[in-house]
Amino acid sequence: MKNTKVAIIVGSLRKESFNRKVANEIIRLAPENMELEIVEIKDLTFFSEDIENDPPKSWIDFKQKIADSDAILFVSPEYNRTIPGVLKNAMEIGARPPKQNSWKEKPGAVVTVSPGAIGGLGANLTIRNAALSLNIPMMHQPEAFIGGIKDRLLEDGKTVNEKTEKFLRDFLIAFERWIMQLTN
């Protein structure tokens, strides 16, 4: 059985972001046959139709990594009840021009992470809504809103606690099934 390549898009640019920490934990906890990689968005210039027909190398490389993946996992914070601008920018770049949509029909899922109690609910729902127009079939259940992240990390500040680890493992098993359902 071939490994499933999953592109992780982290919606935060901060080096020590909670979302990046959780994304790294997801990579650590992934089932053996899932190959997860964070695809960086920090070097993407702002989307503009003026340059989409002659895109910069950062766009070309990004779109190729998305196209080469079997599935997409968004891991994002919530900014003002919606998604970070850099994440929306990456979504636009990956989808354009319309006949070259790199996201098209890639099984997807989303995890939102926040120090707050509701765990990025607004961002989670916004990503799901945007994914519809990108033609990413999103996993419906289980939903992953990880609130109170500071209390879910161990003393090293990077590793999730046992309860959160179990949740992430179960989430990844469900995501793996979702991918298999759509790709077999």
Domain ranges of the chain: 4-183
CA atoms of 93 and 176, how far apart (whole Å): 26
Of 87, 98, 88, residue with least CA distance to 40: 87
Of 110, 99, 100, residue with least CA distance to 132: 110
What's the CATH class of domain 4-183?
alpha beta
- Position 53 scores a pLDDT of 87
Tens digits of residue pLDDT in 64-104: 999 999 999 999 999 999 999 999 999 999 999 989 999 99
pLDDT at 1 > cutoff 70:
no
pLDDT band, very low/low/confident/very high, at 184 (cuts 50, 70, 90): confident
Query: What radius of gyration, in Å, describes the C-alpha atoms of the chain?
Result: 16
Of 146, 140, 181, 179, residue with least CA distance to 30: 179
pLDDT at 156 > cutoff 70:
yes
Tens digits of residue pLDDT in 10-38: 999 998 999 999 999 999 999 999 999 99
Tokens of 66: 């998305």
